[in-house]
């Protein structure tokens, strides 16, 4: 609850201006809080006379911030495979650790991890905490969470990064909650403020219309999740040296109420648009499911995978694994061809890192042209068949 100290409040109105939700108003010289308050704390930070306070927030202040040191990356390992986002996060974590002058550590939890720890060192880790136990063969929130919480409590890293994958999204919020830490989900940029070591966590907010930079000033660790394909992995360097710490987990930590009977690959997951070098993406401009077939034809002609805007997925023309954007996947192929996609900010958020973007749209003012390297203005039903025939002609010759 946000409390106003009427003795201290001078009715200056700064809190009113700093509230993005219109939840605070100065009435008769004193701030009054309305129902729309989300306890974001913006007014508290801006109040120069310290007349505002969030009840309970003071309990989370940790006095010993300096005793937390080091940058950690939770490296996701499942069914014998390391999630590529782990290497991307090590790339980002390396820069943060160098800026802070601290070690970069990887946490590897699973069973049968083989030489994965060595691979993590080659990609930037100084230390790998390896927890390899048959009881961790299948992911469960409880066991993985308990193991990670235990390690964090023992070693006190100042920063913990994890992938915003199905697994990361499932258990990292619980880990943060148990530690009394904040968690910034789906960050698109991470940086360090050198004077106080604050992690600057940037992510889209308000439906993607603004980019917000979030800091956790009074608690540690600072925790963020980052989606796959947003950060860049370091090149593997076989000569890099590091330390592997084998951790035997306390059996109590491995107890879980969940019993995994079987793990199967969801068929649609076979389509991994994040791993394709060329994507042909279709939008509502294709009119209907039949029109969308043209997208598949164009994709087939250049050995590309098919991607889509949310409008198309919502219409049921193609499955969710193909969706690109804020609520879909983030992709960074060598070539992204956007066909009949307007370029809404939520779509662009998922494809703007593509190396080359080609946009086809009949509206010359469509926002997709703002991010495109090459633009074709015209009717899709004329342009795509022309493109396919050119490509086929080129192949034959
Ligand atoms: C919280 C939130 C999250 C969201 N997440 C996502 C997300 O992850 N991904 C996503 O894509 N969207 C997302 N959206 C939806 C997004 O705002 C847009 O509504 C959506 O991207 C629009 O899809 P579109 O470009 O296919 O359709 P439209 O915006 O309808 O655009 C169709 C385009 O096709 C062009 N066109 C039409 N006919 C032709 C033709 N014959 N030839 C050539 N061009 C033609 C039109 O000029 C137009 O530019 C999200 C929205 C919200 C609020």
Average pLDDT over residues 54-68: 69
Residue 335's Cβ-side half-sphere holds a number of Cα atoms within 13 Å equal to: 12
Query: Does residue 155 sit in the same domain as residue 43?
Result: no
Which residue has a Cα nearest atom 52 of ligand 1?
A: 207
Q: How confident is the model over 2-15, as pLDDT tens digits?
A: 899 999 999 999 99
Q: Is 260 a domain residue?
A: no
Predicted TM-score of the model (pTM):
0.63
Whether 101 shows a pLDDT value over 80: the answer reads yes
Query: Does residue 133 sit in the same domain as residue 239?
Result: yes
How far is residue 216 from each of residues 61, 153, 184, measured CA to CA in Å?
Answer: 10, 18, 9
Higher pLDDT, 60 or 278: 278
Is the beta carbon of 376 within 6 A of some atom in ligand 1? Answer: no
Nearest atom within ligand 1 for CA of residue 379: 42
Structural domain range at position 30: 2-60
Query: Does residue 104 sit in the same domain as residue 160?
Result: yes
Q: Where are the alpha helices (DSSP H) in the chain?
A: 14-18, 42-46, 84-100, 116-122, 141-155, 166-179, 289-301, 310-314, 345-348, 368-371, 380-396
Instruction: Give the span between the Cα atoms of 281 and 36, in whole angstroms.
Output: 39
The CATH number given to whatever domain includes residue 107 is 3.40.50.620
Residue 194's Cβ-side half-sphere holds a number of Cα atoms within 13 Å equal to: 4
Instruction: Give the span between the Cα atoms of 127 and 118, in whole angstroms.
Output: 10
The alpha carbon of 20 and the centre of ligand 1 are apart by a number of angstroms equal to 27
**β-strands 356-361, 374-377 pairing:** parallel
Whether 59 shows a pLDDT value over 60: the answer reads no
The answer to whether the CB of 154 falls within 8 A of the CB of 120 is no
Label residue 57 by pLDDT band (50, 70, 90): low
- What integer pLDDT is reported at residue 39 of this predicted model? 79
Query: Does residue 346 sit in the same domain as residue 207?
Result: no
Query: Does residue 141 sit in the same domain as residue 224?
Result: yes
Label residue 210 by pLDDT band (50, 70, 90): confident
H or E, element range at 303: none
Mutational test site, ligand 1, from 205, 273, 285, max ligand atoms within 8 Å of CB: 285
Q: 231, 254, 277: which is the final residue of a domain?
A: 254
Instruction: Give the span between the Cα atoms of 142 and 254, in whole angstroms.
Output: 8
Q: Is 264 a domain residue?
A: no
The alpha carbon of 85 and the centre of ligand 1 are apart by a number of angstroms equal to 27
Query: What is the distance, to the nearest Å, from the Cα of residue 121 to the centroid of all Cα atoms in its chain?
Result: 23
Instruction: Give the span between the Cα atoms of 84 and 232, in whole angstroms.
Output: 10
User: Range with the lowest mean pLDDT among 50-64, 177-191, 312-326?
Assistant: 50-64
Structural domain total, the chain:
3
The alpha carbon of 327 and the centre of ligand 1 are apart by a number of angstroms equal to 13
**Angle, CA 103 vertex, CA 98 and CA 109 arms, to 5°:** 125
User: Range with the lowest mean pLDDT among 61-70, 187-196, 212-221, 338-347?
Assistant: 61-70
Mutational test site, ligand 1, from 185, 208, 326, max ligand atoms within 8 Å of CB: 326
Nearest atom within ligand 1 for CA of residue 326: 8
Query: Does residue 245 sit in the same domain as residue 190?
Result: yes
Q: How confident is the model over 268-307, as pLDDT tens digits?
A: 556 789 889 999 999 999 999 888 999 999 999 998 999 9
Q: 60, 84, 110: which is the final residue of a domain?
A: 60
Instruction: Give the span between the Cα atoms of 227 and 276, in whole angstroms.
Output: 17
Mutational test site, ligand 1, from 340, 380, 386, max ligand atoms within 8 Å of CB: 340
């Amino acid at each position: 609850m946000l409390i106003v100290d009427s003795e201290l409040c001078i009715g200056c109105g700064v809190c009113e201006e700093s509230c993005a939700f219109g939840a605070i108003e100065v009435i008769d010289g004193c701030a009054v809080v309305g129902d729309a308050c989300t306890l974001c704390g913006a007014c508290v930070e801006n109040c120069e006379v310290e007349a505002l306070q969030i009840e309970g927030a003071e309990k989370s202040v940790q006095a010993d911030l300096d005793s937390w040191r080091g940058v950690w990356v939770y490296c996701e390992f499942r069914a014998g495979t390391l999630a590529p986002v782990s290497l991307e996060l090590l790339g980002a974590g390396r820069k943060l650790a160098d800026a802070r002058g601290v070690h970069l550590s990887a946490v590897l939890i699973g069973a049968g991890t083989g030489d994965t720890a060595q691979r993590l060192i080659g990609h930037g880790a100084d230390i790998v905490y390896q927890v390899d136990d048959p009881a961790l063969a299948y992911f469960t929130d409880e066991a993985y969470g308990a193991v990670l919480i235990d390690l964090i409590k023992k070693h006190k890293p100042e920063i913990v990064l994890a992938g915003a994958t199905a697994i990361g999204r499932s258990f990292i919020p619980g880990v943060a909650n148990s530690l009394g830490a904040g968690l910034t989900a789906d960050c698109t940029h991470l940086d360090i403020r050198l004077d106080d070591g604050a992690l600057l966590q940037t992510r889209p907010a308000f439906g993607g219309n603004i980019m917000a930079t979030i800091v956790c000033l009074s608690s540690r660790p600072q925790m963020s999740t980052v989606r796959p394909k947003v950060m860049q992995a370091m090149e593997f360097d076989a000569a890099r040296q590091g330390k592997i710490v084998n951790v035997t987990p306390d059996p109590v930590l491995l107890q879980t109420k969940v019993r995994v009977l079987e793990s199967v690959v969801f068929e649609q997951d076979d389509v991994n648009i994040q791993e394709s070098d060329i994507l042909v993406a279709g939008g509502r401009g294709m009119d209907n499911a039949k029109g969308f077939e043209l997208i598949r034809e164009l994709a087939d002609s250049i050995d590309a995978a098919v991607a889509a805007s949310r409008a198309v997925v919502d219409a049921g023309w193609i499955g969710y694994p193909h969706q690109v954007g804020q609520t879909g996947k983030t992709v960074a192929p060598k070539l992204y061809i956007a066909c009949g996609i307007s370029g809404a900010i939520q779509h662009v958020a998922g494809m703007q890192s593509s190396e080359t973007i080609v946009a086809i749209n009949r509206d010359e003012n469509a926002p997709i042209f703002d991010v495109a390297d090459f633009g074709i203005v015209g009717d899709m039903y004329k342009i795509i068949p022309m493109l396919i025939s050119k490509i086929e002609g080129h192949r034959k010759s």
